[in-house]
Chains A and B, each alone.
Chain A
């Protein structure tokens, strides 16, 4: 037993020493000084979901650098502290605690992933940390009573599922429709939307996958042997590519319809390499301008920022997504005013009235914490992913799918949202 004393004494010393670095002083608002705001995020920079997603945080950072170069927001520069969780919920637990308890960030911005972020909701809520614009369309983010500080960004997966389902109903009627979803709230919420429109019997074969198993052969077998003609995918990019590639190898070529989170053409083409032509005719839905729309003023702005502040990284849907999040956050900070507190920022989001590059409405309010409420269909033709048809909006309940006709405004001339 005496032998134990030394290691335990060392532990005492180590833990005792590091305590000095952690002391944050008596700052009134964590992560906010007169000249700086520090926010944090968790992203899969490695692991099964890193394809494409690892570029989101650098893009958000690039937008912040662009704003910082112009003087920041209310005289404060924005710093984004990015931690890799490898899309592993256990790691997310660890890194989010590090961000909140150790690095004392003001807020968590755009934490990515349904399975990963679900596990930290209670922790963030108990610490009263604003949990802004989660990068996932799970319906869990929209529970103002239970999680007053959590807000979504993406249209929720049920909204998207309903819009995809109604496209199938109108344009692919009579075709045998099947569904592959991630085995968590992402897949479940999406399927709920699809069956909400097509009915339970309208989806002939329902399959799931888990990100820890990189083989979707059995699922493809099930689709093929049931002669599915349309397959709706609620998959992350790596698994969209895997599914389409595996199906091609097994001689199965249905009409694919992909959720926006896993349907970015450039990301998929990069993953598939030589097999990229398989993506021709791919249908999907999205709510942010596509990289191919080079005449769109938002795309011109983002491309400029990408060249100047993101070392000219590949310009794709992830880049656009990351910068759109950055734009919304700056807009919120402008609205929250100079006396920035955790309460004032949440109040500002709930006041709503935000616009941006998105096609659908952003309807934040006291009792609505979901993100974008509409999407538009996309199709890949000759290596170009482009929009077609109208933008649709709907709710995540039984409401109808209707057209949304308000076009997004042009970005401000200097690219930075004005103070409210």
Chain B
């Protein structure tokens, strides 16, 4: 229940922090839905997906179309999750028959094809320009800051996702996920239906990604294919690896990184007095490079990701503290 407490604290925080931080917090929460889902799939069930950005797009476009058709946010988000769940089931059935690079290939194809669909059916989906949609003002009156309201929506979605996925991981299904990840043959011998378990993991993961995508659309009040490029899919995988593969806490780190790193790189280019043309060129490409370098560094220094590192810190401190005492004693 500590997690609920922490989220309540975050909700309270949205009263204090300024609008842009609320927007960033909401973005972290939206990404968290997707990284948490991907953590269940990749970290706990051992299936790699390079197509989760596309699943987020599926949720986002569904929300946009539903908002324009009916305009009830809860219904739109629910529809986004449902449609993505269906898409996840289709991909999941294929995925359950594929392993390693083949699975990566299929999901990669999904990541490439889905944004293309938006440009193909441009009269419905708006092409590269995307779709904008109306979002009702907060139910607390027009003076209520819009970004705080958006943060509440996003934090609510993230809380729901984390609670459900956390309970799932602790349940019989969670144990089956991990059994299949660790050794498929052993799992099969223990009476676990491997394919069904894998499909279930994919469906759950897709549903979470769909919700994340839908919330992301709500934050921008628009969707466009550029928000869900192949780069996003790759970023999501990198984020959960750097964050700490396998634990939902790692997914939180990953979501924070997805928002913080591009921001940080912009700041870094500001600090160095670079020629403006060079800084401009850098700013477009630097986040990718920094993410890549971070990935390499983390893999070498802390194979368990940030969460793995954090888990080791108290132990390290316990070693260092007596040493310090020795030094001081003399």
Contacts and interface: CB of A to CB of B under 8 A. Distances in A.
A40 to B, nearest CB: 13
A24 B21 CA distance: 13
What band does the interface of chain B fall in when counting residues whose beta carbon is under 8 Å from A?
A: 35 or more
B305 to A, nearest CB: 11
A69 interface: no
A2 B310 CA distance: 13
A11 B226 contact: no
Contacts of A5: 2-3, 6
A373 B266 CA distance: 38
B224 interface: yes
Contact of A19 (B17, B253, B285): B17
Contacts of A84: 280, 283-284
Nearest to A8: B6
A12 B21 CA distance: 11
Contact of B224 (A7, A10, A11, A89): A89
B3 A212 contact: no
Contact of A46 (B13, B146, B225, B283): B283
A8 B3 contact: yes
A295 interface: no
A24 B256 CA distance: 25
B283 A45 contact: yes
Interface in B9-44: 9-10, 13, 16-21, 23-25, 28
A353 B307 CA distance: 62
Interface in B46-66: none
A93 B220 CA distance: 6
Interface string A171-205: 00000000000011100000000000000000000
A101 B166 CA distance: 34
Contacts of B248: 3-4
Nearest to B60: A90
A115 B146 contact: no
- The B contact surface, by secondary structure, is helix
B303 interface: no
Contacts of B71: none
Interface stretch (A119-127, A244-252, A262-270, A284-292): A119-127
Which of A6, A8, A10, A102: most chain B CB closer than 10 A?
A: A8
Interface string B140-159: 00000011000000000000
A2 B2 contact: yes
Which of A11, A121, A122, A211: most chain B CB closer than 10 A?
A: A11
A86 interface: yes
Contacts of B284: 45-47, 84, 86
B280 A46 contact: yes
A102 B3 CA distance: 29
A102 B20 contact: yes
Nearest to B228: A90
A92 to B, nearest CB: 9
Contacts of A16: 13, 16-17
A184 B228 CA distance: 19
A368 to B, nearest CB: 24
A210 B119 contact: yes
Contacts of B146: 126
B227 interface: yes
A98 B153 CA distance: 20
Contacts of A365: none
Contacts of B28: 11
B136 to A, nearest CB: 12
A27 interface: no
Contact of A210 (B21, B127, B281): B127
Given A8-B3, A46-B283, A123 B128 contact: no
Given A46-B283, A93-B220, A210-B119, A1 B3 contact: yes
Contacts of A86: 284
B128 A119 contact: no
Given A119-B132, A210-B127, A89 B20 contact: no
Contacts of A126: 146
A331 interface: no
A66 B278 CA distance: 23
Contact of B129 (A10, A22, A23, A89): A89
B119 A10 contact: no
Contact of B226 (A8, A88, A98): A88
A213 B225 CA distance: 12
A24 B162 CA distance: 34
Interface of A: 1-12, 14-16, 18-19, 22-24, 45-47, 54, 58, 84, 86, 88-91, 93, 97-98, 101-102, 114-115, 118-119, 121-123, 126, 183-185, 208, 210-213
16 contacts: A3-B247, A5-B2, A7-B249, A8-B3, A10-B256, A11-B28, A14-B260, A16-B13, A45-B283, A46-B285, A89-B129, A93-B220, A93-B222, A115-B127, A126-B146, A183-B119
Given A5-B2, A93-B227, 18 more contacts: A1-B2, A3-B311, A7-B249, A9-B6, A11-B10, A16-B13, A19-B21, A84-B284, A88-B227, A89-B226, A90-B130, A93-B220, A97-B20, A97-B23, A101-B147, A119-B132, A184-B129, A208-B122
